[in-house]
Structures are given as C-alpha cells and as structure tokens.
Structure 1
Amino acid sequence: MTGADESGSRRPGAGPLLLGVRHHGPGSARAVRAALAAARPQAVLIEGPPEADSLIPLAADEDMRPPVALLAHAVDEPGRSAFWPLAEFSPEWVAIRWALEHDVPARFIDLPATHTLAWGKDTEEALNDAPERPGAREPAVVCEDDDMHATRLAVRVDPLAVLAETAGYDDPERWWEDVVEHRGPGDGDAFAPFGALEEAMGALRETYGSGGHDRDLVREAHMRLQVRAAQREFGDGVAVVCGAWHVPALRRKTTVVADRALLKGLPKVKADMTWVPWTHRRLSRVSGYGAGIDSPGWYGHLFGVPDRPVERWMTKVAGLLRAEDRLVSSAHVIEAVRLAETLAAMRGRPLPGLSETTDAVRSVMCDGSDVPLALVHDRLVVGDVLGEVPRSAPAVPLQRDLDRVQRRLRLKPEALERELELDLRKETDAERSRLLHRLRLLGVAWGEPVASRGSTGTFRETWRLRWEPELSVRVAEAGVWGTTVPAAATAKAEADAVAAQALAEVTALAERCLLAELPDALPVVMRVLADRAALDADVGHLAQALPALVRSLRYGDVRGTDTQALAEVAAGLAERIFVGLPPACAALDAHAADEMRRHVDAVHGAVGLLGDVPAGDVSAPAAPGQGEAGAAGGACAGGHRGRRLRGRWSAVLRVLSGRDSVPGVIRGRAVRLLLDDGELAHDEAARLMGLVLSPGTPPQDAAAWIEGFVGGGSGGGMLLVHDERLLGLVDAWLTGVPAEAFTDVLPLLRRTFSAYEPGVRRTLGELVRRGPGARGSATTAGSGIPGFAADLDPGRADAVLPVLRLLLGLDGDEGTGNNATEDDNNLAEAGR
C-alpha cells in the first residue's frame, strides 16, 4: 500500500498508523472504528498508563458497562490517585473493544502511572493555585487526572479554538460538530479525517511548540519509545490511538538516546490500578477528575443512533417531559424536528446540532421556559448513567467487603440522587443505617442524612444517596484502616478520638459510634471523652459537648445500644456546667453574651432529654441475681437522678435571672425558660419584666432582656399575644424610651420582632392599636379579634369537643357512657 495519497491521508505501510482523536468524541470514535476495520493492524497502541495492560481483557467481560475509568492510586498513599475515564463513545474504548473482538494485542503507551502520581504530588500546590482557563478542550489533554488537568491549565492556546477561528467559527464546539461529529459512517475515505487533523495539528505545533508545558515532551518521548518497540515486534502493522495534539510529535524523527534522556531521573511511586464505575455527570465536569465535555448524554446519543438522530432525540425529550406530566404530543415532536432543521439551514450547518435541538425544544415543547429545559439538560444532555465493572476486577479488600454488604442489603450504587427512608425497627433497615453511618465515619459520603418528613421519632431515618466515582478513591484510602467495613470504621473512630482537639469533637464522635454501632470503639472513645472532660474547664466547651452526648442516649431503646457509660459522663458534664455557668456569664460583651445564650438554650434542651432518658440507661444495671427487684430499684434511682438534674438546672436559671452582672439577653432567656417549664408563675415573670423595663434601667440593657425573653424562634410572639400584661409592659416601656436612646435600641428590637411570623406580627399590631385592656370589650362588642378574654369561655371550649373526638378517633363510643364522659372531661381540661 502507498504511504500517502493526494489527500494527505497516511495509510498502513509507511510507518505506524497514527489516529489522532478528540477524547470522548463520538465522531472520532466512529472514525477510529472505520479506520481500524480498513487497516486491520496487527497491534493497537492506545494512550493510557502501561500498568493497565493486564486490565484490558476485562473490557470484554459481559458485566463491564461503560462509562468506566482506570483508577491508579499510590500504594502507600491511596488518596493520591488518577483517573482515565472511558465512555462508550470514547475512541480509546472503541479501539480496545475492536482489538479484543479481533484477537489483536492492545497496549497502553502513555507515561506510566508510577511517574504520573509522583508528578501530581509535586504540582498539587501549583494546580490548586492555577486559574481555570475558559475554552480549554480535550485535544490538549492526555488523560483526566489531576496532573493532566494541570497540563490543560498551562496550555496557552486551545487548538480547537484556533482551528475554529481559522474556519470562521466563533464556537469551537460547533466547528467540531460540523467537521467531525456530523460525518456519517460511510462519508469518504476512512483515513482522510486523521490526515487532515494531523496536518492542522502539525501547523499548530510548529507555531506553539508544546503549548507551554514541557511535560508533554516527556510523555511523547515515552510514547515514541513504545511505538518503536511495537514496530520491532509487529513491523508497520501498528495502529496508534492518541490525542490529535500528540500526532506531530510521534511522527517526528528523534533518536532513542534523546528520548531516554528526557525520561531519566523521573520521580516515581508504587502504584496499583483497577477499573471503577464512572458517570456521565463526571464526564461533564471540566475541573478535578472530569473530562470536560459539556454534553455526554448527547454525545452518547449521537454515537448510539447514527440514523435519524434528531428525530430520535426529540422522541426521548418528549418521553421525559410526558413522564413529568407535561402535555407533549406527537405534533410537538414533528414541529420541533422541523424547527431544528430550519435553524440548522439558517445557520449554515450540515445537520442540527445540540444548540439547534435545544432551541427547538425550548420553543415548541417548553413554551419558551427554561425550567423544563433545565430538566432536559440534566436528565438527557448530561444524564445519570453509572457504569459497572465485573467482580473479577482487582480491588482492595475493603471494596470487596463493601460490595458484598451492598448486595446483601440490596443497596445498589446509583448515579441518580434518591432518598431512602429507613425504619430502624426492621433489621434490614437497621443494617443499612449502620452501613451508611460507618461509611460516613470513614469519609465515604455515599449517603447524607436529611430530616425525615413523615416522623420525628428516633426509629426513623432519611438518607439522600448518590454514588460519585471519587468515592472509589475514598474506599481505597480507607482500606488502610481495615479489610472490612466494621473493622475499618472501628480503627478510624479510635484514631479520630485520640487525635481530636476539642471536647465537642469527641462527644460528636461518640454519637457517631453509637449510630454506626461500633461497640469495640466505644471504650477508647469514652476513655478519651472522660479524660478531656476532666481537664476542660471552659464552660462553653462543656456546653457544646453536652447536647450531642445526651442525644446519643436516646439510641439505646431503638438500636439496643448500652449507653450507661455515656449517661454517667453526661451527668458529670451537666453538674460541672451547673457550677461554672453563673460565673462564666458575668462581664460579657454583646457578641459573647449572644453566644452564651445559645449555650444556655442547648444545655436546657440537653437537660430535658437527660431527664427523659430511660432509667435503665441513667442508673447502674442490676447486679447478677438481683432480678426484677434490682431493675426496679435502678429505675427509681434513674428517675431520681433525672429529677435532681432538672431541679439543679432550675436553680441555676434562677441565679442567672436575678444577677445584675449577667447580660440582659441571658437573664431574659433564663426567665423565659423557667416560665415555659412551669417553674415560674406568670405574675412573677411580669414582676421581673417590670423591674427590668423600669426607667432606671438603661434602654440598651432593657432591649437585650426583651431579646432574650421573647426573641428569635422561642415563640415569644405568641406569648405576648396571649399574655396582655407582658405586652402592656413592653408597650409602655417602648413608648417611654427617650428619643436619643431609641436609635440605639431600634436594631435590636427590629431583630427581635422581625423573627415573628407575619400573622403574629399582625395580631400584635392590632392589639397594640386598640390599647391594653381592650380585649374583653372588643370581644363583647363582636369586633376585633375574637377568642381572647380574661377568663376561659366554657361554651366556646365545649364547641370543639366533637371535632377533637373525631380527630382522635373517639367517636366510636356512644357518647353517653362513663368512658365518653371521661374523655370529654379530659379533652376539656387539656383545652383549658
């Protein structure tokens, strides 16, 4: 065969067949397949890490489904990793599949990953500081790892942009689609596209050299050495699939000595490789591990549907919109296709591209709205495709254990985000919860806990799941802690406890250990917790640590976890807070006082929960042989402890509410908490408010007291609505604030009352407009806001009893017996 024809197409027989491609380009993939079928090479060399040669046969496994990626990670530092993603429409994947189907040797020829990972370590800081350069595209990129991303950032000129501008296009993507992607499978000579690209890239390399990055020269030297070795083995029957940017360098004649000199002294690390699943969403990301293509779903459609792609695409879009309950008919599809073709003709394009189809969908199917169009972009243009790899692929032991547990619990990793509702009373759901919590502790954030919509009980959990490709790296990184998920999570928890700097970190870790059910890690965590708690004298730190510790005590009933040690530590922390809180609240500025108020709220909630903890968790368990009597004694002791802690806390709040040295915001909050718990009568609360709002108190201090008493989300607005005396005190004080001080207190008052719901603010405004003491007359006169009076109206209260009986399911009773009468009495008393 001749070496080259008039078109410049280089054919087999005159050196290796160099097929320059755009990574993840469906047009390039089809062209590679056609060229390989025409040339029938004896060996196929592919741009990629040579350590992955042994993994190539797995591409023929029936369980291998792209998108997938080659993952290389340093053995001694698994977190240092690199990915080489391959989609179904990637030219490299097409070359691998062709070689396997035709029993032709396939090899990777790029720089080994052992050097790539070492290079990434040296340039990590430079990569983090480098700015993102808009317009960078794949011909300048070899593989999709951190080090190669640094290459893309360093290239000064985007080859596609230069070629597109030369051809008169302002969009490189549109130029590439017109020139390459819209070529049919039988459009002319199979080698012509590669000859044209080689000539164009040769001109660019003559002008720009290596594009401003010398590492391309090193990689290309290694590729030339590998090509020479293959030629010695197979002659000129060698095909090379690589980025088009590298073709002129591989064609250039150099000496072996010069190429080896460039490779001498390269840093290296020991590396392992495997296949991991990848996603279309990751292919669409430019930075990090992404491949930088904008529309992987669209590219996959072009590659998989060579005939009538626009018609089939519009049918897909219509199906998606119909599934979302939008009215889309066959007429919409026909009209959208016509509009896309018309737009392509007006713009001088051979076929409608993504921009034309998107404009047509927006106009015809989405009524000009970008909201449904965003759904089309997310689900179809990008897509949520997640690849699969066979079980026979190499993996760290932790990954194999995770795969086994996932299959047993029927938790399949998915790229599409979904919510998972768990009922911890069911064994399977409880095991799923434990797995997700253990993975989070290991840094594998497959699931994110979210608030449950259906229930607030501790027996229910809601998780938002999405599997991202980099989680495979996190699993490999966590493999240093153990070979199974429980063992690795236990070791990681113990190490985190020892390394924790703050007391709150240890208490949060104890809570996570209980959620993950790691009984072997708890002794170490509890020992560290006890030591840190004994040495930490900062009341703020203790107050931060107590809530998480007390929350953990609630897990004993549903999860069957022994929380006795936690209860003892929690009670000890509470006692130390009781002693240290009053002195810690003295002489605080406004910012510190507001922070301490939040601590008081947190401790109040924790003490309430600590008093509600089942007695068996708070007291010591019955000794062997004590039986039920011993357990009953423990329950009594636990109940006594809960009451004692609440009593001690009420005493602390009384101290805070009465000390003048305590900031007003804390004193006001202490009075409010006592009032809510029934430890303070309304008359006494009104008296304390009257003292604070007297003319002798500086306006700023009085405003801070009001902020603490009725501010924020404490429900203070409803308290003022229902207690006319308190509202009258606030109203009288506010109208008496001197003009010169009003400007200073206004921001604080605005913050206090702006947090109320609009209905509460409107009701307060109406009550203030009528003036104190006008409620009864307003109600009697039938005007104003009904339902507010000095005393309870039994007739109005009894009117709601039938509705309450219906809501509570009590209307099955006849309503005349003793049971019905007792129910009515209970309901009426509850209403009062």
Structure 2
Amino acid sequence: MSAVFLGVRHHSPSCARLVERTIEELRPAQVLIEGPAEMNGRLDELLLGHELPVAVFSHYRDGQRSATSWAPLCDYSPEWVALRAGRAAGAEVRFIDLPAWHPAFAERTNRYADAEVRYAEATQRLCRHFAVDSSDALWDRLFEVEPDDGLAERLDAYFALVRGDAEADACDRARETYMATWVRAAVAKAGDRPVLVVTGGFHQPALRALTGSGGQSAAGGDGWERGADGWPKVPAPPDGAMAGSFLVPYSFRQLDAFAGYQSGMPSPGYYQQVWEAGPEAAADGLLRVVVERLRARGFPVSTADLIAARSLAQGLTALRGHPRPARIDVLDGLAGALITDDLNRPLPWTSRGTLTPGAHPAVVEMVAACSGERTGQLHPRTPTPPLVHDVAAQLAALALDGGPEASYRLDLTDATDLERSRVLHRLRVLRIPGHGRTAGPEHGIDPVFTERWEAQSFSGREAALVEAGAYGATLSEAAAATLTERTQDAAAGADGLARALFDAVLCGMDGCSEQLLGELAAGVGELKDAGSLGDILSTALGLWRHDRVFGVAHGPLLAAVIDGATGRLLWLLEGARGASGVDFPRLRAVVAVRDALLHAPELLSVPRETAAAIAWRISGDPETPIDLRGAAFGLHRNLTQAPDTSGDPAEAVRTVVTAGTDALGDWLAGLFALAREEVTGAVRNKGGNERGGGAESLIDVLDSLVCALPDNEFLSGLPALRQAFAFFPPRERDRIAGRLLERRGVRGSSRSLLRTTEDPLLIARARSLEESVSRLLARYELGATL
C-alpha cells in the first residue's frame, strides 16, 4: 500500500473533520503527524485527559544559543485529532518532525508557524479572484463554509498552487527530508496496510515528491540515521547543551492571530463553536456574545440593533455566495449595525496582524468575543520539570504559599525575611505571575530595609513555571541563567546592565553562577557611556564596601563588576573628546574610579601607579575636555599626593586661566569634584603647625587671579566659577571665606560673606553697572549735580 498524504491548515475545523473521517474510513496501520519526534515515547502524556488548549513547550540552551518554542494543540487541531482518532482506530501513531532544539527551528518560536507570507503571492491572486480581503477570508470561503464533499481534492489543489509559488528555505528542506524518512520507514513496516501522513499543507507536495511515486521510494540516501528498529533516530542535543520538552497549558488568547499568533486560524473561540456545533450555531453564538459583552460595558445595543446585525449577516452570506455563514459575514454584519462613527482604520479582520491601539470599542469587543476566554488545564499526573517542584517546596518552607490573596511585608535585616525576599525576587526575574513588589529599595545603596509584596493575578502561573524550567532545575539556578541572558543582551545598554546587577543582588546571586559573574564583567567591559558606567561602578563599590543587608559585601559578584568597570572607565576617559562645559555624570565616573583605586585596590587588574600615570596623561592632553582635565589632575593628586611642581594646582591654575575664565571654572569643577581637601585644605609641617604650602596657596592664587580680572571677564566667567565652588559643602566654603578675609586683614564673620539677600551673580552685575555709571558721570563732570 502507499502513503496517503493529507495537507492541512493548523487549527482548522474542516481539516480536523477530514482527518477524523479519513482515519475512520482508511483504518491505517500508521498515522504520521507533523510534530516533535522527541515526544514519541511520551504520547501517553498527551492523552492523559487534559483540558485543551495545551502546547508542547520545548527549550534548548548551550554556550552560544538559547531557544524556546511551542507546538499548540486545541480540540480542532488536525494534529490532535490525528493523534486521538489514530489511537482509537488501533493505528501506531508517531510524530515525525525534527525536535525543537534542532537548528532548523533556530529562528522560530512556533513549530506550526508555516507563515502564509511564504506563499503570499499565490494567496493574493486567489483573494483578487474571489473578491475577498484576506487569506483568512479566502480560507473560509474555500474550505470552512463549503460542503465537505471534495474537500481533500480542493486542499490538494490549493497547497500545490501555493507551494508552487513559494521556495522552501534550508530549514524547511531539512525538516522535509527528515519527515520523508519517517514516511518511507512507515510504508516499509505497514506491508499491505495504508499509512496516513498529516502535515501542514506547505510540506505536503514536497513530501510526496521526496517519497516517490505513491509514497514508495527506496529507503536510505537521505542523510538521516536509523535505529535498530528501522525508524529514524531523533537527533540528540549536542553534549553540554540543556534541552527538553514539557506540556504547558495554553489559551485561546495565545492562539489568536489578533494577539500575534503566527499561524493557524484567528478567532479560536469562534472556531471552537464551529467545531462543536457548526457554522450556523457559531454565527448565532457570536451575535449573542458580542451583544452581551457590549451591554455589560455600557455600550447601548437595542433589540433592534441585534435584529439588524443578524439580518445584515444573513444578507452578506447570501450576497457573497456562501452556503453557510462565514466569520467575516457575522463580523461585518455586527459592524454595519452597531458602528455609526467614522472609522479611521480598516476593520482588523480584513487583514492579518494584531489589534492596534485606538480601535473602536465595538470592534474590540467583537475581536474579544471571537477570541474566547478558554485557558487549558493539564491533567494532575502530567510530568513537570524539576523547577516546579523546587519552587513549591521553597514556597511552603518559607510560608510564601498563601495563594492569590496573600501579601507580605518583609524586614530585610531579618535572615528569614531576607531569604523570603530572595525567593520572591527570583520568581519576579523569571516573570512568574503571583506577587509584585510595591515598596522596597530601588538601588544598591538605597537606605530602605523593608519590602512590601502584594498579590497580583495568578493567571498563567502554571505555564510560566513550566516554561521557566528551561533555565534550570532549581529556582536559584534558573534565576541566575535568566540574569545571565539579560546581561548578554547588548541592546539593554547600561541601564539594563545596572538593573541586572541589582536584581542579582536582590536575588542573592553572589557566588552562585560563574557564568553570571563572567557576563556581568564582560558587559561592563563593553559599555561606551562613561557616566552610566560610573553609576554602575559607584553602586557596586558601595555595596561591596558597606552592604550589611543583602549579604554581598566583599563578595565575588561585585568584585568582578568593580574590576571590569574600573578598567573600562580608564580606557574611556583617556579617549574622551568633546566640547566645553561640565559633564557631571562623567565627573562622577572619575570619582567612582578614584574610590575603587583607593578603597578596593586588591580587586583591580590596574595598579594604582598605572592609573596615576593615565590620569596625568589625561590632565595634560589639550584635546581632552577641560573639565575632565581638571578631574584627571585631581585624580592624579589623589593617587600620588605629589608635592613636586608638576602636581602643584596653583601652577596648573596659572596655566589654565590663559584659556579664559570659563575654561578656568570648568577646570576647577573637575578638580573640585575629585580633590577639595587635597588642594584647598591647610598643610601642616612636621611639627603639626599649619603652613602656607602648595595646597593652601591655591586659594591665594585664585583670589589674586580673580581680583585682577576686568569686570567683563569676571562677569562672563562668574557662572562657571560658582558652579565649580558648588562642590564645596557649607563648612568648607566657610573656611575658604575666612581665608579670604584673612588675606585682606579684615576681621568679622566669614559666614556673612556666604549669606546674600539676592543672587550673587545679580549683585555682581548690578555693582558693575553702578561703577560704569559712576565712571560715565565723572567723565562728564555730572557727579556733583546728583
């Protein structure tokens, strides 16, 4: 006997009925189905008695690639009907497609995404011929509302046409040669009994050709290895890779093309009714549900509107030549009767794609009614990955299994509450529904020591836990793998890396994942913005030095980040170029480098002497922004405390002032951001008495330079000078004011110089104006008349 090929559209009620009838009439020895071959030893799991829809979730992870994919099944999926009816008919049932971890699926998240875009040209011609708007309307016109007589022949002609206009890529060719190997093996084993092959229609013409005339071609020669039983072997994941497949609950919302599903039929709730009761009952049910939903949301729908919608739907069905109402007939009838406003966009069922924001409320409810609310449920005996059991055990041990109504207030200084916090954060980074944090520390040095977690929707929790099992067998391992993946995302940038770092701290990841440590260090080594990288370094260093809450002080997680960030920042700073002005984030980055060199030198690959030499080069580079030159001068001073002339800030100021008062202010801003006490504080001699050394002389030199400035230059440079001295806290400003009074031999309170009734800049400008007026009056000898 030969193989019988049924090309189907995934999740099509008419195709599902055809599969069921064919199995009943043919009574095949073998039923081969497009599906993950690695599940062949576990088909009994699929038939435990789940409430559909469910999906086979597959995952793969190695050092270079990670992938996840789903093979969803609902009551009217032809693959599900083939599995169920084939078993009932006594046939041997097998999935024959490559496992999801095979490279052929590297670019797919949905096994059944046969993607009509591959044969769009053919369907567009057919749409024009049959005067329909979309491929979904075309499918309904040709297959869902027509009588079942001749359905197989129409499907063969349709798929031969669309495949003839489309070219399979290398991935599809690999899948098809593998499936053809299974077909040949089944034919050889079936003897004189038939073999039924149920695959997506796109693959059907190729499988017929690959298996020869009538499906009987010589075995072998296809490159796929066979086992001792004659069946093709299932390709195994590479050594060291982690891969597996599990059943997960699925929902109609996930199946719906309006929510972004890539293949199959849109409006799964509607087609569930078509499968169960037929097109006429589905049309009546949709009219009723839409009206009920609209009325529940306060949308005025009268009985007359319902009658009008029904009449319009019946009229469109007849006008379009449909023997039974199609989905678009009902939807267009509802739209015509219920929407009286002008629409600024086409109705969504005239094309494929997601429902766009701003859609008319009635349209939104129509789409929701077609989608349906059903969510699948797995049988209690369904095997689950180890992570599910680990999470359940941890939640029970820490009294976090209070259910959807529970909320938690945690004291992070308490060891038990800290562990509870870590478990909840690990679930959060894995995106497991259940609880959300509403209060708590926002960054590594935020002085907040309590957290509040409130109950949120638990919808989808079971599926999310199973899918998270792709990241590891335990909650800690899975969270670490998720955070590692986030650090590998180059598009996340500095903000994403900073969040990943803090999430690692919150999850208690210190020292538990060498790969996470390596990726964090590598991530900071690739950032290009000095300011953002400086924030990361500052936070990491603060936690490494002072943390007493999260338990990461002096731990390897932060050490790797501190070392990588410091080396990267020194490289970025030496190559910095730019316009004038003060870049405060960059100055904070230099401060962070200084603090790392002074307080954590044992962590760093860059010796202190090397960093000092880099700072000195930056400070003398005329191409470097002037504020960064001042900061580098201060950094060099921090690291060397050099008393020689080359490190004398007073001499440096005399050089910088030749570039203008604005440049002087910007240079001082950089200097004061790094070194205030070092360059303005009193210097003591060996006897402990203060002396006016190089550090003290900086104030004297600045005072002399500023007093000698012409009024216009002083006023021009005053904003930059004020900005520079804003780095000093009040006590240090008071000390500087006292030094200025002392230089002038004036007795009095230095604090009076720091208190003004108006903006000092305004006062300086007013004084300059008064002096100009006085000079002008004196020139014309008008002063005595006033």
Aligned partners of 2:173 and 2:484: how far apart in 1?
47
Q: How does 1:98-497 map to 2 (within 5 A)?
A: 98-110=85-97, 112-113=98-99, 117-120=102-105, 144-145=110-111, 152=115, 155=118, 159-167=122-130, 169=132, 171-183=134-146, 187=147, 189=149, 192-202=150-160, 207-208=164-165, 211-213=167-169, 216=172, 219-231=175-187, 232-233=189-190, 235-251=192-208, 253-254=212-213, 260-264=220-224, 268-270=235-237, 272-284=244-256, 290-291=262-263, 293-306=265-278, 307-365=280-338, 368=341, 370-373=359-362, 375-376=364-365, 379-382=368-371, 385-390=374-379, 392-402=381-391, 409=400, 423-424=409-410, 434-439=422-427, 444-446=430-432, 452=438, 458-461=450-453, 475-479=468-472, 483-489=473-479
Aligned partners of 1:59 and 1:233: how far apart in 2?
24
Counterpart of 1:822 in structure 2 is none
Aligned partners of 2:223 and 2:160: how far apart in 1?
24
SS of residue paired to 2:582: helix
Aligned partners of 1:524 and 1:81: how far apart in 2?
20
Q: Aligned pair 1:19/2:6, yes or no?
A: yes
**Would you say how many aligned residue pairs link Structure 1 and Structure 2?**
580
Q: State the 1:223 CA deviation.
A: 3.9
Q: Are the equivalent residues in 1 in contact too, given 2:9–2:264 (CA < 8 A)?
A: no
Aligned partners of 2:76 and 2:385: how far apart in 1?
29
Cα–Cα, structure 1 residues 452 and 402, in superposed 2: closer, same or farther, change >3 Å?
closer
Q: Are the equivalent residues in 2 in contact too, given 1:218–1:262 (CA < 8 A)?
A: no
SS of residue paired to 2:368: helix
Q: Are the equivalent residues in 2 in contact too, given 1:29–1:91 (CA < 8 A)?
A: yes
SS of residue paired to 2:66: coil
Q: State the 1:92 CA deviation.
A: 0.8
Counterpart of 1:758 in structure 2 is none
Q: State the 1:272 CA deviation.
A: 3.9
Q: Aligned pair 1:545/2:537, yes or no?
A: yes
Q: How does 1:380-779 map to 2 (within 5 A)?
A: 380-382=369-371, 385-390=374-379, 392-402=381-391, 409=400, 423-424=409-410, 434-439=422-427, 444-446=430-432, 452=438, 458-461=450-453, 475-479=468-472, 483-489=473-479, 511-517=502-508, 521=512, 541-547=533-539, 561=550, 593-596=582-585, 599=588, 661-663=664-666, 696=713, 702=719, 725-726=758-759, 729=762
Aligned partners of 2:266 and 2:168: how far apart in 1?
25
Q: Are the equivalent residues in 2 in contact too, given 1:344–1:356 (CA < 8 A)?
A: yes
Q: Are the equivalent residues in 2 in contact too, given 1:339–1:360 (CA < 8 A)?
A: yes
SS of residue paired to 1:85: strand
Cα–Cα, structure 1 residues 113 and 277, in superposed 2: closer, same or farther, change >3 Å?
same
Kindly provide the amino acid, as one letter, of the partner of residue 545 in structure 1: L
Q: Are the equivalent residues in 2 in contact too, given 1:75–1:272 (CA < 8 A)?
A: no
Q: Are the equivalent residues in 2 in contact too, given 1:286–1:293 (CA < 8 A)?
A: no
1:129-182 alpha-carbon deviations (Å, 9 max, x no partner): xxxxxxxxxxxxxx934xx86x75994655544544454545332121122222
Kindly provide the amino acid, as one letter, of the partner of residue 661 in structure 1: L
Aligned partners of 1:499 and 1:199: how far apart in 2?
45
Normalising to structure 1: TM-score of the pair? 0.54
Cα–Cα, structure 1 residues 335 and 219, in superposed 2: closer, same or farther, change >3 Å?
same
SS of residue paired to 1:546: helix
Cα–Cα, structure 1 residues 405 and 179, in superposed 2: closer, same or farther, change >3 Å?
farther
SS of residue paired to 1:47: strand
Aligned partners of 1:476 and 1:20: how far apart in 2?
34
Q: State the 1:96 CA deviation.
A: 1.7
State the Cα RMSD in Å.
6.2
Counterpart of 2:680 in structure 1 is none
1:439-498 alpha-carbon deviations (Å, 9 max, x no partner): 455xx344699884999985325698775999679634422xxx3213554688799999
Aligned partners of 1:598 and 1:448: how far apart in 2?
42
Q: Are the equivalent residues in 2 in contact too, given 1:29–1:94 (CA < 8 A)?
A: yes
SS of residue paired to 1:387: coil
Cα–Cα, structure 1 residues 539 and 310, in superposed 2: closer, same or farther, change >3 Å?
closer
Kindly provide the amino acid, as one letter, of the partner of residue 507 in structure 2: A
Cα–Cα, structure 1 residues 705 and 93, in superposed 2: closer, same or farther, change >3 Å?
farther
1:42-85 alpha-carbon deviations (Å, 9 max, x no partner): 54322223322222222222345313235264788882444322
Counterpart of 1:87 in structure 2 is 74
Q: State the 1:384 CA deviation.
A: 6.0
For structure 1, the residue ranges without an aligned partner over 5 or more in a row are 1-13, 128-142, 414-418, 607-657, 671-690, 710-722, 737-832
Moved more, 315-324 or 246-255: 246-255
1:371-400 alpha-carbon deviations (Å, 9 max, x no partner): 314532663344565433345445442344
Counterpart of 1:66 in structure 2 is 53
Cα–Cα, structure 1 residues 554 and 411, in superposed 2: closer, same or farther, change >3 Å?
farther
Aligned partners of 2:331 and 2:284: how far apart in 1?
13
- Which among 33, 41, 66 is matched to residue 46 of structure 1? 33
Aligned partners of 1:376 and 1:528: how far apart in 2?
46
Cα–Cα, structure 1 residues 91 and 730, in superposed 2: closer, same or farther, change >3 Å?
farther
Cα–Cα, structure 1 residues 495 and 34, in superposed 2: closer, same or farther, change >3 Å?
closer
Q: Are the equivalent residues in 2 in contact too, given 1:314–1:337 (CA < 8 A)?
A: yes
Kindly provide the amino acid, as one letter, of the partner of residue 310 in structure 2: V
SS of residue paired to 2:221: helix
Kindly provide the amino acid, as one letter, of the partner of residue 110 in structure 2: E
1:109-132 alpha-carbon deviations (Å, 9 max, x no partner): 33x328x713345xx6xx9xxxxx
Aligned partners of 2:725 and 2:272: how far apart in 1?
60
What percent of counterpart residues are identical?
A: 24
Counterpart of 2:654 in structure 1 is none
Aligned partners of 1:512 and 1:40: how far apart in 2?
57
Aligned partners of 1:177 and 1:52: how far apart in 2?
32
Counterpart of 1:820 in structure 2 is none
For structure 2, the residue ranges without an aligned partner over 5 or more in a row are 226-232, 238-242, 344-358, 443-447, 596-660, 674-706, 727-755, 770-786
